[in-house]
Every structure is written in C-alpha cells, then in structure tokens.
Structure 1
Amino acid sequence: MKLQYFLFLFILGLGACDDDYFHDSGLANGRHDCTVWEYLHTDAYNWDSTILVIERAGLVDLFDGKDPACPEITFFGPTNISIMQFMYKTVDNDDKVMYERIEDIPVEMCRKMLLSHVLPKKMMKKDFDYENRGTLEGGTYIQALSGTELRVFRAKSSYMGIADIGAESLGIHALVNGYIVGIASADIEMNNGIVHSLSYTYQFSEL
C-alpha cells in the first residue's frame, strides 16, 4: 500500500475545504444508465478501494441491483481516500498499522461499516428535510441497513451576508457517536440507486 501517497492526497483534500462541515466539489454527473456497482467502476480515482471493500464484504449483489430484499439503495459513498485514512489511522498498542491491505480488514467489519452507509431505498437530496438552524435537530431520521440510526439533513447557507440564499448542503449525523459528515457531491443517480459521495475529510469508520 502506498499509504504515504494517499496521506498526501488527503492533506490536499483538507486544504481544499472550508471551515464548514461541507465541501461541495460540484463533481456529480447527474444520471447514469447503469447499476451503482457498474458506476463505481467508471471512476478508479475515487472508488477503487471502495470496490475492493464491497467485494470483501460480499455485497456485490446489493450494489448491482440483484438483491431481491433490497432492489434499490442510497449509498453515502466513502472514497478511496476515506478508506486509506481508516487504514492508516487504525493502529495496535505498538502504534503499528493493523491493516496494510484491504484483505487484512475482517470481513464482518467491512460488511458492517459498508451497510452503515446504505439506505434501503432511493433518496435524493430533496427527499431529506432541513435542519433547524443552529441546532442538531431537524432533518430526516432514518435507519441504515446496518441498523445504525442516522439524521440526514439539508442546510441552507448565506451569501453576501444574506441568510439562506447561498448553496444548499447535505449532511449526515451519526446519532450513536455524534459524528457529522459532509457530502461532497450529491444526487448521482443510477438505475438501482443514488450515490452521495462523501467528503475527502471523512474517515471510513465514522458512521
């Protein structure tokens, strides 16, 4: 693993972010006539490690629209950099990195972490409610496939000093641990699902 390379990319990603929770990269490319699984294979820069984690977790059918129990999904997608952060920062008592390869991560851990990022239906940004300004309340409360309780919310920003006319953001609040995660690119739609790509500052284990 070229962990130093990915750490360098992570630092670059940090430098590109504002002080807010959200980083709107504007990278979303609308509608794709394929499955979520096929879409991930079109962008090696962002999703190569994500694909390997999905394979290790045995969840290819879920992302490929072949799971009869869950034919459509919403995926809050952790990118390669998010997964590399998790691997680089997970150390043992001797400060030695525990997972040098994705194959080193236990299968059940991969499965649980991935399912904490998946909702059992298609949900676009507009389908989530607004957060109550200045609070940690409001939005849409929903359970991920892992059983993790999430509060997914839209938030309005100011522009030129005028409240609520700036860019609209989408965020996730993991109720079990309090982490708040920003969406970099929302509303990437495939035949069997929606992908909301998470910020490069996100670490895989936070949901």
Structure 2
Amino acid sequence: MRKIASILLCSLILLACKKNYFTEEGLHSGKFNLSTYDYLKSRPDVFDSLVMVIDYAGMQDYYKKENITLMAPHNKSIYSMLKTVHNYLNSPLKSTPGRKVKDSLNYTKDTVLMEDIDREVWKSLLLSYTLSKGRKVAEFADPVEEITTLSGEATRTIIRKSAWQGVQDAGAKTLNYQFFRPSQSIIGRTDTLEVRVLTSDLQTTNGIVHALDRMHEFGLTSGMNVIKAK
C-alpha cells in the first residue's frame, strides 16, 4: 500500500512539473471573437478605466487593429495612480514649508481628473504596457526575458515557480512583469518594480491580453513625472 501511495505521489509531482498554472481574478482564459479594445470594453468591471484612458489618448484603432500583447492594468490600478498624483500635488514643498506643489504649478483643482494629464503622457504610459506581437505565456523565455515595450522602455518578463508537496519548482507558475524606474529617494539609483499577471493568455482577434494584479499602480511614477508634461 505504501508503495502504491509513493507511486501516486511521484505521478502527481511529474504532472505538476508538466503543467503551467496561473492564478485567476475573475477572468477566464480563452479565445474571444473581439479585438483587444472591444474585449476590454466588454469587461467594464475590470477594465473600464483602461478603456477611458485608451479613448482619451485617441488610441482606439490601435488596440483594435495592431497585433500586440497588452499587460492590462485593473481599474483600481489607474485610480491609484490618479490618487498618487493628487496626494503629490497637495503635499507641502520641502523648500517652502506649508506651500503645496500645485500652487507652484498654478494648479487650482481639488481633484485630479484624467483630462488634467496630457494625452501624450497617457499614450506613452499605455505603450509601456504594450509589446509588439501577440504572445502567450509559453512564448516568453523561461525564466527571464528582456523586452523593449512599444514606448521604447526597457522591461522584462519573469516566470516564477513555487514549490509543491515539498518539491521545489514543481508547483504553480506565475508570469511577472518588471519595470525599471529612477528611485524616488536616492538620486542615480534605479528601482526594480514587479507586478504579477493574475490572468494570462486572453486571446483576442489582434493579440493577447495578460491581466495585471489590481494592487499594481499604473505608470509606477511620481506625481511630478506625470503632471510636469501637462
């Protein structure tokens, strides 16, 4: 009996080694008879804010027709970015105690809206999440691939593997997306910022969508980096 149990355990471990497992967040992997843009629009519960950004940047046709891979940020991701910009603008300047950043920019609103940020900034940010050609997870190098986005930004994909039943790298795999940004605290240093893909391989008529973790902040940038281009 013990021998049978051991054989069964080994078989399960081998099976786990052969499969790719990716966590889900309410989106089902599959093939959709919709363009990338129309697929995003069909899921307002997850991508409504992203569609608004695409519309405002005037890039509807691009995400309908071009063969691309989109690392798609969640609604909450874009909301977090706008909140960060708002908080930054309303923080006192270090050199002038009590004076807010927005005062130095002649910015008078109490709430930062999408249209308060230049369209070209939104376009650049969108393209930093967009890769040329539709690529499923299996088409990325394992474990690491250096990639240049369509905005010209250096990024990388990483496939991470967890342990299963005490066996290292035999369990679930997750695709992570890494950005590189100048440090907000140390001049001359570059920080590595990583976000998980929670649902992968959503196939549209013109590419692939990988849905990112909702805890990720869109753009991964300070308020000044965004607002200064206004």
Q: Residue 98 and residue 104 in structure 1: after superposition, are their counterparts in 2 closer, same or farther (change >3 A)?
A: farther
- Secondary structure (helix, strand or coil) at the match of 1:110 reads helix
TM-score normalised over the length of structure 1: 0.77
Question: Is residue 2:46 matched to residue 1:46?
Answer: yes
Larger relative helix fraction: 2
Q: What is the percentage of aligned positions where both structures have the same residue?
A: 28
Name structure 2 gaps, 5 residues minimum: 1-21, 92-101, 103-108, 182-190, 222-230
Report the number of matched residues. Answer: 173
**3-state SS, counterpart of residue 175 of structure 1:** strand
RMSD of the TM alignment (CA)?
Answer: 1.9
Aligned residue number for residue 7 of structure 2 = none
Q: Kindly indicate whether residue 164 of structure 2 is the aligned counterpart of residue 159 of structure 1.
A: yes
**Which residue of 144, 147, 152 corresponds with 2:152?**
147
Deviation at 1:104, TM superposition (A): 2.0
Conserved? CA contact 2:29–2:200, under 8 Å: no
Aligned to 1:116: 128
* C-alpha distance after superposition, 1:84-104 (max 9, x if no partner): 010111134433787532222
What displacement does 1:141 show? Answer: 1.0
1:96-117 Cα shifts (integer Å, max 9, x gaps): 7875322222211101110000
User: Could you list the runs of 4 or more consecutive aligned residues of structure 1 that deviate by over 4 angstroms after TM superposition?
Assistant: 96-99
Secondary structure in 2 matching 1:200: coil
Q: 1:103 aligns with which of 95, 98, 115?
A: 115
What is the CA-CA distance between 1:206 and the residue it aligns to?
2.2
1:195 equivalent to 2:190? Answer: no
Code of the residue aligned with 2:192 in structure 1: it is G
Bigger drift between 156-165 and 181-190 goes to: 156-165
TM-score, length-normalised on structure 2? 0.70
C-alpha distance after superposition, 1:29-49 (max 9, x if no partner): 310011001101111111111
Contact 1:119 1:145 in 2 (8 A): yes
1:204 correspondence with 2:218: yes
| Structure 2 Cα separation of the partners of residues 82 and 98 of structure 1 | 21
Q: Which one-letter code corresponds to 1:159 in the other structure?
A: W
CA distance in structure 2 between the partners assigned to 1:76 and 1:63 by the alignment: 12
Corresponding residue of 1:78: 73
